[in-house]
């Protein structure tokens, strides 16, 4: 029995050596890694272009123009000449609720008060309503032909003095100067308007006044028409 067990032990040792050798060859065949690559989780999803984009709609719109002169503007004292009667001028801004609206006013153009090569006309607004209201600042103005087409550029605003609030009781008036260089002296090109459109301060609607004072400058040398702020009275 002792003679037989020794060969068996040698056989078992040889078998173990063979298995170990096969294992080494297998590891070399796999590049020496000894295990499969790990799978990585959490892969990012494709970008959609919609993430965290700020909403830029609803931007405040710029207010449209009214065609009239803001009541807060300033300008030189009017040059239409004459005494100021009717109405009260104050140095404080009027409350919005007291402003004279176009429908509460009538408009007219006074006589020419020429001087130093200038033609000077008072634009007069009269309170026809049954309440007291106010005007402050520049009027809007435009010369137009019979078809309503504007003649020449927009009048310019004179600068120099602060506008005052003019309080108008029913029947009282305020006036603003309209001035231009005499075309006969300046050599400006002229046209004869059919009417002058007058827009009260801070209003959208205009009042139409028939123009009876001849040609006005519309282009060329010294063709600018200028406007002054409102003062109490008629400018006569």
Q: What is the pLDDT of residues 153-204, one digit of tens each?
A: 999 998 886 799 999 999 999 999 999 999 888 999 999 999 999 999 999 9
> pLDDT value at position 13?
52
81 or 107: which carries more pLDDT confidence? 107
Identify the band that residue 6 occupies on the pLDDT scale cut at 50, 70 and 90.
low
> pLDDT value at position 220?
86
Q: List residues bridging with 119 in a β-sheet.
A: 180
- How far is it, in rounded angstroms, from Cα 108 to Cα 113? 15
Phi-psi region of 85 (alpha: psi -120 to 50; beta: other; left: phi over 0): beta
- The token pair that represents 61 in the structure block: 């719109």
**Whole-number Cα distances in Å, 205 to 11, 100, 152:** 120, 12, 20
Q: Is residue 224 pLDDT above 70, yes or no?
A: yes
Q: Residues of the chain with pLDDT > 70: what percent?
A: 58
> pLDDT value at position 184?
87
37 or 201: which carries more pLDDT confidence? 201
> pLDDT value at position 87?
67
Q: Residues of the chain with pLDDT > 90: what percent?
A: 52
Q: List residues bridging with 164 in a β-sheet.
A: none
Q: What sign for the dihedral angle of Cα 49, 50, 52, 54?
A: positive
Q: Say how many Å lie between the first and final Cα of the chain, rounded.
A: 154
> pLDDT value at position 236?
83
Q: What is the pLDDT of residues 59-105, one digit of tens each?
A: 222 222 333 333 333 332 333 333 344 666 554 444 456 999 999 99
Q: What is the CA radius of gyration of the chain?
A: 46
**Contacts for 125 with CB less than 8 Å, ≥ 6 apart:** 100, 105, 106, 107, 135, 139, 168, 173, 174, 175, 198, 200, 207, 230
Q: Which of 24-33, 54-63, 125-134, 169-178 has the lowest mean pLDDT?
A: 54-63
> pLDDT value at position 65?
31
> pLDDT value at position 120?
96
- How far is it, in rounded angstroms, from Cα 106 to Cα 95? 22
């Amino acid at each position: 029995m002792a003679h037989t067990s020794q060969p068996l032990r040698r056989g078992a040792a040889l078998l173990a050596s063979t298995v170990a050798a096969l294992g080494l060859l297998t590891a070399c065949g796999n590049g020496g890694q000894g295990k499969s690559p790990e799978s990585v989780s959490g892969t990012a999803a494709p970008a959609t272009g919609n993430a965290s984009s700020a909403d830029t709609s609803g931007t405040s719109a710029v207010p449209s123009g009214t065609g009239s002169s803001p009541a807060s503007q300033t300008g030189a004292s009017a040059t239409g000449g004459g005494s100021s009667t009717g109405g009260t001028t104050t140095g404080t801004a009027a409350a919005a609720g007291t402003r004279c609206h176009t429908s509460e006013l009538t408009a007219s153009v006074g006589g020419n008060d020429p001087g130093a090569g200038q033609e000077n006309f008072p634009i007069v607004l009269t309170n026809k309503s049954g309440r007291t209201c106010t005007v402050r600042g520049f009027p809007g103005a435009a010369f137009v032909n019979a078809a309503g087409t504007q003649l020449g550029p927009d009048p310019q605003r004179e600068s120099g003095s602060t506008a005052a609030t003019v309080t108008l009781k029913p029947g009282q008036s305020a006036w603003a100067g309209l001035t231009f260089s005499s075309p006969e002296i300046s050599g400006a090109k002229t046209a004869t308007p059919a009417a002058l459109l007058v827009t009260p301060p801070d209003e959208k609607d205009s009042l139409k006044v028939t123009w009876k004072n001849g040609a006005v400058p519309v282009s060329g040398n010294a063709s600018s028409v200028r406007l002054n702020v409102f003062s109490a009275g008629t400018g006569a």
